Amino acid sequence: MIRMSLRAAVALAAVPLLLLTACGDDEPADPPAVVPPSVAPPPASATPAPTGTPAERAAALVATLPEEDLAGQVLMPYAYGSAADKVSDASAAKNRELGDVATPAEMVARYRLGALILVGFSADDPTGTNQPTTNVDNPQQVRALTDGLRAAAARLPAGSAPMLVGTDQEYGVVTRVKTGVTALPSAMAVGAANRPAQTEAAWKAAGEELAAMGVNVDFAPVADVLGPAGSGVIGSRSFGDDPKVVSAQVAAAVRGLAAGGVASTIKHFPGHGHTTADSHTTLPVVSQSRAALDRQDLPPFRAGIGAGAGFVMSGHLDVRAVDSGVAATFSRKVMTDLLRTELKFTGVAVTDAMNMEPAMKWPAGEAAVRALNAGNDLLLMPPDVGAAHAGILDGLRTGALKRERLVEAATRVLTQRFALDRPAPALDTLASAGHQAAARAVATSAVTVLKGRCARLLPAGKVMVTAAGGREQARANLVKALQAAGADVVAAGAAEIRLVGYGDTVTDLSRGAAVTVAMDTPYLLAQSDSPVLVATYSSSPASMAGLADVLTGRAKPTGRSPVPVRGLPRTAC
């Protein structure tokens, strides 16, 4: 058994922590428990809890673990079902396809998992193509699920370390838990505000709420800098096109999450913003020179690492200037030479989802070994959990995977598990007045006028609010906020405020609208004939409240567009 030196263990102690995401599905209330007789309950952990720093505790524990448990430490799959040990028949069938088990708790036990991701599908989500289920509904359900997962993990040999449970809570179009929580505005809105202190306060609120739900790793913030083409799959998930602005916001978000008790994950390394293809379905090419990467893409990752990000997520990207033709996830030149040696990152390197097309080039077991050999420590969402686990063990037997590499990866993961060993806050912290105020402050600062006057923007008299299809909630939130601010809002026959959002096109614009508002990327405003053009970059309740304050003159429009819009200034004010 390979033991880590104390010096190496102490070095790992400085690594911040990571958030995971889990998944689920729509299922009937209180479905019957389904437990296949072939799956034995997990054995009670007989390993005493080690003492010392998180890194020392991790090294001591790893030295006692059998290979099956070491392999389980480097996997972070999803599972079907909104509860740990009670799922619908349909979810049980899907879990059997994924890992030959019926429930999430059985998956934890069978594969000796130390981590699980909660996932959730949404029609407005550009990452939805690889989210086959959803297991997040409301905070109470998520907390019960995470409690159940941790109870299962606690019975394993590595059970003295709390399980990592993560999710993609980026806010904006990629938001897993949407009800009962404080909804921050999108990253692009935060970039438009460009007030790091507000950013940090808002993300601290987000971290506290995630921690209350039992989620201790967030796959956020996005550190990608948008190029001129605007990368459609990243879009408003990015803080913008200026590396300095993005760097400041990434660092602030990392600090805020840590203050809230959650580990952050900066992604998608070494930068997905200068691409036009979607890595869920193909291998995008990053064609910049190495000098351009250093100027444009890498600064936010350096800033996030410097601020204490515990995880860096690889991108399934063909970075031609570093390792042409090889997806970064499987490139040692990217994940070890660039990330570890040049950027000095000592935390957990986690893959982007292994069920995305570029990672499906090989069978799940071979892909797992290749990703570990490249330098990744944690493999996210393998398409076949059993095959990935077996492939790692087979790699040890054949020599395709060195034991030292697996021990190193498992030690990094367990260091984060121990570092996140803290009680979860009470659920009553969710959507508190203070958290809502933090979200509203940054959302109001983000509101940008790209055309029109900079005082009260509403036309005189009555107004009505319209929206493209499927945006009734945002429309209703703005109506409510405008009325609270004293505006005379009617259902029809008045000056029109038109809302457009993610995925809308020129056909969704309303000709002759008095005000057109972009609630996602602002590019569509270039084709609007409205005399007043405004961007909120987000449709959250806080963004609609901030918009109402600006429209009625209660707040000044201080935002500046983080991306260029053809024919319009970054701000008209």
Residues forming the active site: 280, 352
Distances in Å between the alpha carbon of 64 and those of 42, 44, 150, 339, 428? 18, 15, 21, 29, 39
In this structure, are residues 260 and 435 in contact, taking their beta carbons and an 8 Å threshold? no
Residue given tokens 């058994």 in the structure block? 1
CA 168 to chain centroid: 3
In this structure, are residues 488 and 468 in contact, taking their beta carbons and an 8 Å threshold? no
Separation of alpha carbons 538 and 542, rounded Å? 9
In this structure, are residues 419 and 391 in contact, taking their beta carbons and an 8 Å threshold? no
What are the residues whose beta carbons fall under 8 Å from the beta carbon of 283, sequence distance 6 or more? Answer: 277, 316, 317, 318, 327, 357, 358
Separation of alpha carbons 114 and 163, rounded Å? 5
State both tokens at 207: 């971290």
Neighbours of 558 (CB within 10 A): 19
Separation of alpha carbons 240 and 296, rounded Å? 11
Neighbours of 132 (CB within 10 A): 17
In this structure, are residues 317 and 279 in contact, taking their beta carbons and an 8 Å threshold? yes
DSSP-assigned states of every residue in 41-86: PPPPP-PPPP-SSHHHHHHHHHTT--HHHHHHHTEE---S-SSSS-
Q: Rg for the chain (alpha carbons), in Å?
A: 24
Separation of alpha carbons 556 and 505, rounded Å? 29
Kindly compute the dihedral angle of the four CA atoms of residues 323, 327, 333, 338, in this order, to the nearest 10 degrees: 110
Q: Max alpha carbon distance in the chain (Å)? A: 78
In this structure, are residues 498 and 466 in contact, taking their beta carbons and an 8 Å threshold? yes
Angle at 413 between CA 409 and CA 415, to 5 degrees: 115
In this structure, are residues 374 and 332 in contact, taking their beta carbons and an 8 Å threshold? yes
- Angle between the 298-307 and 243-259 helix axes, to the nearest 10 degrees? 30
Give the DSSP H/E element, type plus range, for residue 210. Answer: helix 196-212
